[in-house]
Amino acid sequence: MIVMTKDTMEIVREQDVVPFRNRVREFGTRIGMSLVNQTKLITAASELVRNMLKYASGGRVILEVISHNAKTGIRLTFQDEGPGIADIAMAMRDGFSTGRSLGLGLPGAKRLVNEFDLKSNPGVGTTVTVIHWKHGR
Protein backbone atom coordinates (compact mmCIF):
# COMPACT_ATOMS: atom_id res chain seq x y z
CA MET A 1 0.00 0.00 0.00
CA ILE A 2 1.51 3.33 -1.06
CA VAL A 3 0.29 6.61 0.41
CA MET A 4 0.37 9.35 -2.21
CA THR A 5 -1.22 12.32 -0.48
CA LYS A 6 -1.96 12.86 3.18
CA ASP A 7 -3.88 15.46 5.09
CA THR A 8 -5.27 15.74 8.62
CA MET A 9 -8.33 17.64 9.77
CA GLU A 10 -9.38 18.34 13.34
CA ILE A 11 -13.10 18.02 13.92
CA VAL A 12 -14.27 19.84 17.03
CA ARG A 13 -17.64 21.34 16.21
CA GLU A 14 -20.52 20.70 13.85
CA GLN A 15 -19.48 23.57 11.57
CA ASP A 16 -16.39 21.50 10.71
CA VAL A 17 -18.53 18.83 9.04
CA VAL A 18 -19.28 20.63 5.76
CA PRO A 19 -15.66 21.80 5.13
CA PHE A 20 -14.51 18.26 5.91
CA ARG A 21 -16.97 16.80 3.41
CA ASN A 22 -15.76 19.30 0.81
CA ARG A 23 -12.17 18.19 1.46
CA VAL A 24 -13.16 14.55 0.87
CA ARG A 25 -14.83 15.65 -2.36
CA GLU A 26 -11.61 17.41 -3.46
CA PHE A 27 -9.68 14.19 -2.85
CA GLY A 28 -12.26 12.21 -4.82
CA THR A 29 -12.22 14.62 -7.73
CA ARG A 30 -8.42 14.63 -7.76
CA ILE A 31 -8.23 10.88 -8.39
CA GLY A 32 -11.13 10.93 -10.86
CA MET A 33 -13.64 9.10 -8.68
CA SER A 34 -17.14 8.99 -10.20
CA LEU A 35 -19.89 11.14 -8.71
CA VAL A 36 -21.82 8.16 -7.31
CA ASN A 37 -18.72 6.77 -5.57
CA GLN A 38 -17.82 10.21 -4.24
CA THR A 39 -21.35 10.61 -2.89
CA LYS A 40 -21.20 7.21 -1.18
CA LEU A 41 -17.83 7.94 0.40
CA ILE A 42 -18.79 11.43 1.53
CA THR A 43 -22.08 10.23 2.99
CA ALA A 44 -20.29 7.47 4.93
CA ALA A 45 -17.70 10.02 6.08
CA SER A 46 -20.45 12.36 7.17
CA GLU A 47 -22.05 9.63 9.33
CA LEU A 48 -18.72 8.75 10.94
CA VAL A 49 -17.70 12.32 11.63
CA ARG A 50 -21.11 12.99 13.17
CA ASN A 51 -20.67 9.99 15.47
CA MET A 52 -17.29 11.33 16.48
CA LEU A 53 -18.80 14.71 17.39
CA LYS A 54 -21.81 13.23 19.13
CA TYR A 55 -20.19 10.53 21.22
CA ALA A 56 -16.58 11.71 21.61
CA SER A 57 -16.97 15.52 21.29
CA GLY A 58 -14.74 15.44 18.23
CA GLY A 59 -11.47 14.01 17.05
CA ARG A 60 -9.37 14.00 13.91
CA VAL A 61 -9.58 12.55 10.45
CA ILE A 62 -6.63 11.52 8.32
CA LEU A 63 -7.35 11.73 4.61
CA GLU A 64 -5.09 9.78 2.26
CA VAL A 65 -4.89 8.94 -1.40
CA ILE A 66 -3.62 5.38 -1.53
CA SER A 67 -2.50 2.99 -4.23
CA HIS A 68 -2.60 -0.77 -3.92
CA ASN A 69 -2.34 -3.47 -6.61
CA ALA A 70 -2.72 -0.84 -9.35
CA LYS A 71 -5.89 0.47 -7.71
CA THR A 72 -6.24 4.04 -6.49
CA GLY A 73 -8.51 4.97 -3.66
CA ILE A 74 -9.13 7.12 -0.63
CA ARG A 75 -8.56 6.04 2.93
CA LEU A 76 -10.12 7.97 5.79
CA THR A 77 -9.12 7.30 9.38
CA PHE A 78 -11.37 8.67 12.12
CA GLN A 79 -9.67 8.83 15.52
CA ASP A 80 -11.21 9.96 18.74
CA GLU A 81 -10.44 9.77 22.44
CA GLY A 82 -14.06 9.28 23.43
CA PRO A 83 -15.68 6.70 25.69
CA GLY A 84 -15.28 3.93 23.13
CA ILE A 85 -17.87 1.39 22.05
CA ALA A 86 -18.64 -1.33 24.59
CA ASP A 87 -20.47 -3.69 22.25
CA ILE A 88 -19.26 -3.33 18.67
CA ALA A 89 -21.52 -6.09 17.30
CA MET A 90 -24.53 -4.28 18.72
CA ALA A 91 -23.34 -0.89 17.42
CA MET A 92 -23.04 -2.36 13.91
CA ARG A 93 -26.70 -3.45 13.90
CA ASP A 94 -29.23 -1.52 11.86
CA GLY A 95 -31.55 0.48 14.04
CA PHE A 96 -29.51 0.28 17.21
CA SER A 97 -28.54 3.58 18.85
CA THR A 98 -27.54 4.62 22.33
CA GLY A 99 -28.27 8.20 21.25
CA ARG A 100 -31.65 9.24 19.92
CA SER A 101 -30.86 8.76 16.26
CA LEU A 102 -31.99 6.33 13.58
CA GLY A 103 -29.13 3.93 14.28
CA LEU A 104 -28.04 3.84 10.65
CA GLY A 105 -24.69 5.59 11.00
CA LEU A 106 -22.23 2.74 11.50
CA PRO A 107 -23.95 -0.08 9.56
CA GLY A 108 -24.97 2.36 6.82
CA ALA A 109 -21.44 3.74 6.49
CA LYS A 110 -20.09 0.21 6.26
CA ARG A 111 -22.44 -0.60 3.39
CA LEU A 112 -21.39 2.51 1.48
CA VAL A 113 -17.63 1.89 1.36
CA ASN A 114 -15.41 -0.92 0.07
CA GLU A 115 -13.49 -1.53 3.28
CA PHE A 116 -14.48 -0.76 6.83
CA ASP A 117 -12.59 -1.40 10.04
CA LEU A 118 -13.60 -0.39 13.55
CA LYS A 119 -11.38 -0.68 16.61
CA SER A 120 -12.50 0.56 19.97
CA ASN A 121 -11.11 0.53 23.47
CA PRO A 122 -13.66 1.48 26.10
CA GLY A 123 -12.29 4.45 28.02
CA VAL A 124 -9.51 5.06 25.49
CA GLY A 125 -11.15 5.84 22.18
CA THR A 126 -12.30 4.62 18.80
CA THR A 127 -10.64 4.40 15.40
CA VAL A 128 -12.66 3.77 12.26
CA THR A 129 -10.84 3.27 8.97
CA VAL A 130 -12.64 3.20 5.65
CA ILE A 131 -11.30 2.74 2.12
CA HIS A 132 -13.17 3.47 -1.06
CA TRP A 133 -11.57 2.70 -4.42
CA LYS A 134 -11.81 4.99 -7.39
CA HIS A 135 -14.10 2.62 -9.30
CA GLY A 136 -16.02 1.54 -6.24
CA ARG A 137 -14.53 -1.97 -6.10
Binding site for other proteins (CB under 8 A): 14-15, 17-18, 21, 25, 35-36, 38-40, 42-43, 46-47, 50, 94, 101-102, 104-105, 107-109, 111-112
Our CB check for other proteins shows the closer of 54 and 60 to be: 54
Of 37 and 79, which CB lies nearer to other proteins in the complex structure?
37
Q: How far is the CB of 17 from other proteins (least distance, A)?
A: 6
- 101 or 121, CB closer to other proteins? 101
Nearest distance from C-beta of residue 70 to other proteins, angstroms: 26
CB of 101 to other proteins, least distance (A): 7
Smallest gap from Cβ 3 to other proteins, in A, equals 26
For the CA atoms of 131, 102, 92, 23, what is the dihedral angle to 10 degrees? 20
Closer Cβ to other proteins, 62 or 104, answer by number: 104
- 16 to 3, 9, 10, 59: CA distances (angstroms): 25, 9, 8, 11
